[in-house]
Structure 1
Amino acid sequence: MSRKKLQRFKENEENRNVIQPGKEIFEQIKGNWNAHQFENDHPIVVELACGRGEFTVGLAREYPQNNFIGVDIKGARIWKGSTIAIAEGLQNVAFLRTQIQLLEKFFDEGEISELWITFPDPFPRDGDEKRRLTSPKFLDMYKPLIKKGGIVHFKTDNTGLFDYTLDLVRTREDVEVLISTHDFYASEWKDEHHGIKTKYEKLFSEKGEKIKYLKFRFKLVDKDGDQK
């Protein structure tokens, strides 16, 4: 392991905005993000597979009234977003180092207000469908963690993954599609993201790839159990 990577791991251990194994808060954070980490009652927005955290930090700059958490298993990646947030004095940013399939261990029911899935691995082979972050298995995991009516955002350059996800959510009775476009930056919604781009989004855009965007929510349920 390189000296640079070792130094980054050491800084992650010291940085308060990194929640990872070995820290006491790692085992206590579920249901306690507002109380223990952010010390406020602001809505929580989570980005999955956040990588270097550009999008998480970018959103935190634009929306100081919300708390933002980037989730990734790679400590050397989240170090970047962590150190930027600290340098800029952004108190509404944190990073969780864990595998996404373990998300239920770190968030309580209804604890998340919005979820972002940004440029995940498409896992194009049919045998890898269960590994896609928009597969039925993952959608079923996200649903109880998101507040009723909470929003899920999905961005990708991969047409196959986008069409797979769009077809999937359209067939689910518990999902309402709010926005879908195969060319986000030519759409009427492009300014909603304030020009914030991940490293991979910039690379894909420079290669001429159209960015796809999907926005949906899990439907509310009334007192009789009927979906609204």
Structure 2
Amino acid sequence: MGKDKLRKFAEVATFKNVVQLDEGLGYKGKWSSEFFGNDKPLVLELACGKGEYTVNLAKLFPDRNFIGIDYKGNRIWRGAKTALEEGIANVGFLRIQIEKILEFFTENEVSEIWITFPDPQPQDSREKKRLTNPRFLERYQLVLKEEGMMHLKTDNDGFYAYTLEQLTLLEAPKNRETTDLYKSDLVDEVLSIKTYYERKYLAVDKNINYVQWKFKK
């Protein structure tokens, strides 16, 4: 591991807005009340990377709490540092493996979940690691409130098609969907938030897929 990554790992451990691994177990069912100190709705970004979406959503919606989840501390470092520097109090980060989400959140604790440009895991042998694989979707459905909303943005057409197939099998109602977000009429101040990777894709004229859905409860 390079010196810069080691520095970020060491620094992120000192950030008050970052919870790492088993430190988060005690917040289960109490993230808004005990971590944020309020009763605002809770929103998650999964595989948040550098946390651009988490931080920008928090700026747009001060009446909600946001948690970015990723396992790589050196990536979380960027979003957490920005939030601290800018005094954004309604955003935090949790460093865990996403498959362990049920260990850290109770049923019906979360109001909304975003998945932005995850690793598409294109090989058939890695299907179980796709973040919209049925085993992941089952977990999201449990932690989401009854009217909880899911969002996916991805540049990978294959992963997007796979996701739509899984939603069809679940009979999950899709509220909005497009295979070319920036040529659609769906773009607003929320969907126009761009991550580091999204900017790279757009620079080479790659289409961006987006779908919003609910689970049937």
Match for residue 198 of structure 1?
A: 195
Aligned partners of 2:3 and 2:122: how far apart in 1?
A: 35
Shift of 1:123: 1.1
Aligned partners of 2:9 and 2:169: how far apart in 1?
A: 43
Match for residue 216 of structure 1?
A: 213
Matched residue SS, 2:13: helix
**Structure number with bigger Rg:** 1
Aligned partners of 2:192 and 2:115: how far apart in 1?
A: 17
- Which of residues 85, 106, 109 in structure 2 aligns to 1:108? 106
Q: Is contact 1:183–1:212 with CA below 8 Å preserved after alignment?
A: yes
Q: Is contact 1:149–1:219 with CA below 8 Å preserved after alignment?
A: no
Shift of 1:127: 2.0
Matched residue SS, 2:206: coil
Gaps of 5+ in 1: 221-228
Q: Is contact 2:21–2:94 with CA below 8 Å preserved after alignment?
A: no
Matched residue SS, 1:193: coil
Matched residue SS, 2:59: helix
Structure-2 change in CA distance of 1:194 and 1:118 (3 Å):
closer
- Which of residues 170, 179, 188 in structure 1 aligns to 2:185? 188
Match for residue 57 of structure 1?
A: 55
Gaps of 5+ in 2: none
Report the TM-score when normalising by structure 2: 0.96
Shift of 1:137: 0.9
Query: How well do the aligned residues superpose, as a CA RMSD in angstroms?
Result: 1.3
How many residue pairs get aligned? The number is: 217
Matched residue SS, 2:113: strand
Aligned partners of 2:83 and 2:10: how far apart in 1?
A: 17
Aligned partners of 2:178 and 2:168: how far apart in 1?
A: 14
Spell out structure 1 runs of 4+ moving beyond 4 A: none
Aligned partners of 2:119 and 2:4: how far apart in 1?
A: 26
